[in-house]
Amino acid sequence: MINTFITKFRERGILIDTNLLILLLVGSYDEDKILSFKRTRNHTIEDYEYLKVFLARFENHFYTPNILTEITNLTDSINTEPQYLFFQHIQRVLSVFKEDIVSSDEIMQLKSFLKFGLTDAVNCKLSDKYLVLTDDLRLCSYLESQGLPSINFNHIRNFYLFK
SS3 of 146, please? Answer: coil
CATH architecture of structural domain 2-161: 3-Layer(aba) Sandwich (3.40)
State the DSSP string of 60-111: -EEE-HHHHHHHHHHTTT--SS-HHHHHHHHHHHHTTSEE----HHHHTTSH
Judged by DSSP in three states, 163 sits in: coil
Question: What's the rounded Cα separation, in Å, for the pair 16 and 133?
Answer: 5
Q: Where are the domains of the chain?
A: 2-161
Per-residue pLDDT tens digits for 59-114: 999 999 999 999 999 998 876 567 788 999 999 999 999 999 999 999 999 999 99
The overall pTM is greater than 0.85 = yes
